[in-house]
Structure 1
């Protein structure tokens, strides 16, 4: 289901000029997470890395060590708690240990995979929506295809409880570029002069 061609399709709409190869040690990352990760996610990390598409954060597998703490490892417990609290998706008999995050943001949405089997390229995307009813929804695609379909409005309705990226192509900025801009007194996402600077 998910493969590198999904990232190539995403690149046709989402510029990668402010992306950067995350240089992930996949053996170490997957050992810490206790699971292999989908091929499209691995390719996304090589092209874009961890960072933000406007208000939507795409998580690297592990904390990066430069002060940007968002990561799959760091968000896993929280996503699994939400799954347990809300009893997951009706009709899905999988426990909280079978959800794994890959993104968050856009007015408190959480995005992840449902680990339905041993092949991560067949894991569907699951979304927890703070303002959705029900809170959980599942989408039969990988993360890169999900992002492209969100920004091109190819779902029947917006899969998030926030419309900011629905039918709108955002701007991706890698976390290191955000950090550079912040220390230069610029807005981390736009690169424009900011009223707040860090010395």
Structure 2
């Protein structure tokens, strides 16, 4: 993924990983840490990569792992999780959201976070399929395989990053674009930019 997604609009944040892991009560996968160290905090297309701690950017304070954990664990309980997986909701830790209400997480099935598989809740899943699915790969590999079309089918209920390379845009750059009347993802003129909540001094 680091060689696939351009870094032109990286945010430049430096995350205190010791503080983040202490707050979450667990170590975090090395590929996730590498992605945030490289790109900062932001989104790849409509895929929001959750930071481990609250952002200092106004309007984004509540978008982080801690604030998203209860909701995704409720979805695990409500839908019965992945068929055949006996672990409970407390083993699910979110890392991604968005893409027309799809949710992505790790299944913390062992002490080594680098071996945790990805689980995804697909709001728009095929008829007869369970909403939860497990993918035997890490977060960066999941995103890479999705963009390169290296799953049998689109792994999510949204195909906006299926077989196409997304562009990372930091939350800071998204806010700058909105203030300039531009689409936060594409940077093109957007007549609706004034409708988005942003901080204006």
TM-score by length of 1: 0.91
What does residue range 174-185 of structure 1 map to in structure 2 within 5 Å? 174-185=170-181
User: 2:82 touches 2:132 (CA, 8 Å); kept in 1?
Assistant: yes
Could you tell me which residue of structure 1 aligns to residue 103 of structure 2?
Answer: 110
Superposed, which structure 2 residues align to 1:71-110 within 5 Å? Answer: 71-110=64-103
Correspondence for 1:160: 156
Residue 12 of structure 1: CA displacement?
2.3
| Equivalent residues in 2 for 1:20-169, closer than 5 Å | 20-67=11-58, 68=60, 69-132=62-125, 133-169=129-165
Give the structure 2 partner of residue 170 of structure 1. Answer: 166
Aligned-partner SS, 1:11: coil
Counterparts of 2:13 and 2:76, CA distance in 1: 29
Runs of 4+ in structure 1 off by over 6 angstroms are none
Q: In the aligned structure 2, how far is the partner of 1:13 from the partner of 1:25?
A: 26
Q: Where in structure 2 are there 5+ consecutive unaligned residues?
A: none
Separation of aligned partners in 1, 2:186 and 2:124: 27
Aligned residues: 190
Superposed CA offset, 1:90-121 (max 9, x none): 11111101000000111111000000011100
Distance 2:34 2:94 in 1: 17
- Determine the C-alpha separation between the residues in 2 that align with 1:130 and 1:124: 20
User: Structure 1 stretch 76-85 or stretch 46-55: which is displaced more?
Assistant: 46-55
CA RMSD, aligned part only? 1.3
User: What is the TM-score when the length of structure 2 is the normalising length?
Assistant: 0.90
- Give per-residue Cα distances to partners, 1:156-190, cap 9 Å, x unaligned: 11100111111011111011111121222221111
Give the match's secondary structure for 1:164. Answer: coil
